[in-house]
Structure 1
Amino acid sequence: AEFGIASYIENGVRSAKAKHKMALFQPLTLLDLEVFHKPGRGLHRISEAKCYFPYRQIPFDVGKSSIALFLSEILAKVLKEEEANFPLFDFLEESFQFLDGAQGNYENFHIQFLWNLASFLGFAPGNTEELIDQLKQSQFSGANVIDANMLSELVMANYGEPFLISRAQRKECLSGLLYFYRLHIESFGVLRSWEILQEVMA
Structure 2
Amino acid sequence: MLKKTQGIVLSSIRYKESSIIVKIFTRELGLKAYLVNGVRTQGNKSKIALYQPLTFLDLVVYDKDSTGLQRISEAQLHRPQQLIPFDFTRTGIALFITEVVSKSIYENYQNESLFDFLKKCILDLDSKEVRLGQFPLVFLIENARYLGFAPENAEGFLSESRSQPFSAIELQQAQNYLSDLMTDSFANQTRISKILRQKLLDHLLDFYSQHLDNPGNWKSLMILRQLNI
The reply to whether residue 15 of structure 1 matches residue 44 of structure 2 is no
Describe the SS at the equivalent of 1:7.
strand
The reply to whether residue 164 of structure 1 matches residue 191 of structure 2 is yes
- The one-letter code matched in structure 2 to 1:155 is M
Q: 1:117 to 1:11 in 2, by over 3 A?
A: same
Aligned to 1:109: 135
Aligned to 1:201: 228
Between stretches 126-135 and 62-71, larger displacement belongs to 126-135
Q: CA deviation at 1:81?
A: 6.0
Q: Kindly report the root-mean-square deviation, in angstroms, between the aligned alpha carbons of the 2 structures.
A: 1.8
Q: 1:143 to 1:179 in 2, by over 3 A?
A: farther
| Structure with more relative contact order (C-alpha pairs < 8 Å, separation 6 or more) | 1
Q: 1:122 to 1:143 in 2, by over 3 A?
A: farther
Q: State how far apart, in whole Å, the 1-side matches of 2:187 and 2:59 are.
A: 30
Aligned to 1:30: 56
Q: State how far apart, in whole Å, the 2-side matches of 1:19 and 1:42 are.
A: 26
Q: CA deviation at 1:155?
A: 3.0
Deviations 1:135-170 (A, max 9, x none): 2xx3x1415544211221133223144221211111
Q: State how far apart, in whole Å, the 2-side matches of 1:187 and 1:39 are.
A: 27
Q: Which of these residues, 40, 45, 50, is aligned with residue 66 of structure 2?
A: 40
The reply to whether residue 50 of structure 1 matches residue 73 of structure 2 is no
Describe the SS at the equivalent of 1:198.
helix
Percent identity reads: 38
Q: Which of these residues, 142, 161, 181, is aligned with residue 165 of structure 2?
A: 142
Q: State how far apart, in whole Å, the 2-side matches of 1:77 and 1:162 are.
A: 29
- The one-letter code matched in structure 2 to 1:201 is N
- The one-letter code matched in structure 1 to 2:111 is N
Aligned residues: 199
Q: CA deviation at 1:19?
A: 8.7
Q: State how far apart, in whole Å, the 2-side matches of 1:161 and 1:79 are.
A: 27
Long gaps (5+) in structure 2:
1-26
8 Å CA contact retained: 1:111, 1:155: no
Q: Which of these residues, 129, 144, 153, is aligned with residue 155 of structure 2?
A: 129
- The one-letter code matched in structure 2 to 1:154 is L
Describe the SS at the equivalent of 2:43.
coil
Q: State how far apart, in whole Å, the 2-side matches of 1:141 and 1:133 are.
A: 8
Between stretches 72-81 and 46-55, larger displacement belongs to 72-81
Q: CA deviation at 1:72?
A: 0.6
Q: Which of these residues, 152, 159, 163, is aligned with residue 179 of structure 2?
A: 152
Long gaps (5+) in structure 1:
none
The reply to whether residue 177 of structure 1 matches residue 204 of structure 2 is yes
Q: 1:84 to 1:130 in 2, by over 3 A?
A: closer
Q: 1:83 to 1:66 in 2, by over 3 A?
A: closer
- The one-letter code matched in structure 1 to 2:160 is Q
